[in-house]
Amino acid sequence: MSSAGASRQAARSLPEEWPLWCSELVGTALLVLVGCSFVILDFGAGSPVVALLPGAGPRRALTGFLFGSVGALIAISPVGKVSGAHINPVVTLAFWLLRRMKTRVAVGYVIAQVAGGILGAAALLVFGTLGASAGYATTGPGPAGAWFAVLGEVGATFCLIAGLLHFLGHPRLRAFTPALFPFLYAVLVWVEAPLSGTSTNPARSLGPGLVTCTMKGWWIYWLGPLLGTFLGVATMHAPWARSLEVRVAKVFHFEHDRFGLFRAGHALTDMQQR
């Protein structure tokens, strides 16, 4: 068999979802690399941002806005066009709970997101001593302790998921969904970061934690976001939300569905067959 024929045979043997999974890996890696770079630049020892903006509160708000902006740009980018730009295991969980994703696809998303978080965090090591002074953007419980950190993550993730689903579910707001993230995270990081660092994303916390071997309290950034996601999804069953409909498991580029994996009916049929 020729090399071209072998390449075509290998391509046919790959699952049809592999472009989506690759896109999620790349998107999550970019989120962690670029987003956490802003954390390091805003809080690293000797950074000019610290001199220009000495107050910790304003720097938290700025960091949250920039981190959210990274997520928004990924959502509207070609990367987000392919996979829907979940770039967060709890976003995938929310769509799965709403029966907008097949289980197999959702599991692949989470694996890709975790791998992307680790790859993105590994690249942060290029910051050297500046990165080390900011813990390479690791998240950890604040002085109030682990359980207050869990509560903080529950509350912050609830705001993320409820806000995301209600934007997606409202016809007039749907197209502006990516614009939610910069402003939402500016507020969340400003208010909640002293409790837990405001992760709302297990892959974002796991990556820097593994790279720096600082896994103490790792469970906070799974338990809190998972509970917050269940609560956020539950708001879609409230009486005042009955008119809302999340049609596809995407944050933007709603009509792009090359493989037919984002159609609501496709996922519903799969759930009914299991």
pLDDT digit string, tens, across residues 10-40: 445 667 889 999 999 999 999 999 999 999 9
d(CA 71, CA 251): 10
d(CA 72, CA 178): 5
Q: Note whether 114 and 27 are within 8 A (CB).
A: no
d(CA 234, CA 214): 33
The tokens describing 79, both together, are 């990367």
DSSP 213-228: T--TTTTHHHHHHHHH
Residue 52 pLDDT grade (very low, low, confident, very high; cuts 50, 70, 90): very high
**pLDDT confidence of residue 204:** 98
d(CA 19, CA 14): 10
pLDDT digit string, tens, across residues 161-179: 999 999 999 999 999 999 9
- State yes or no: pLDDT of 221 exceeds 90: yes
CATH number for region 16-269: 1.20.1080.10
- State yes or no: pLDDT of 9 exceeds 60: no
Is the whole-model pTM more than 0.85? Answer: yes
Residue 242 pLDDT grade (very low, low, confident, very high; cuts 50, 70, 90): confident
Beta strands in 68-139 (DSSP E): none
pLDDT digit string, tens, across residues 102-156: 999 999 999 999 999 999 999 999 999 999 999 999 999 999 999 999 999 999 9
Q: Note whether 116 and 210 are within 8 A (CB).
A: no
Say which amino acid occupies 57.
Answer: G
Residue where the block lists tokens 């709970």: 97
Q: Note whether 210 and 234 are within 8 A (CB).
A: no
d(CA 239, CA 206): 36
Q: In the chain, where are the structural domains located?
A: 16-269
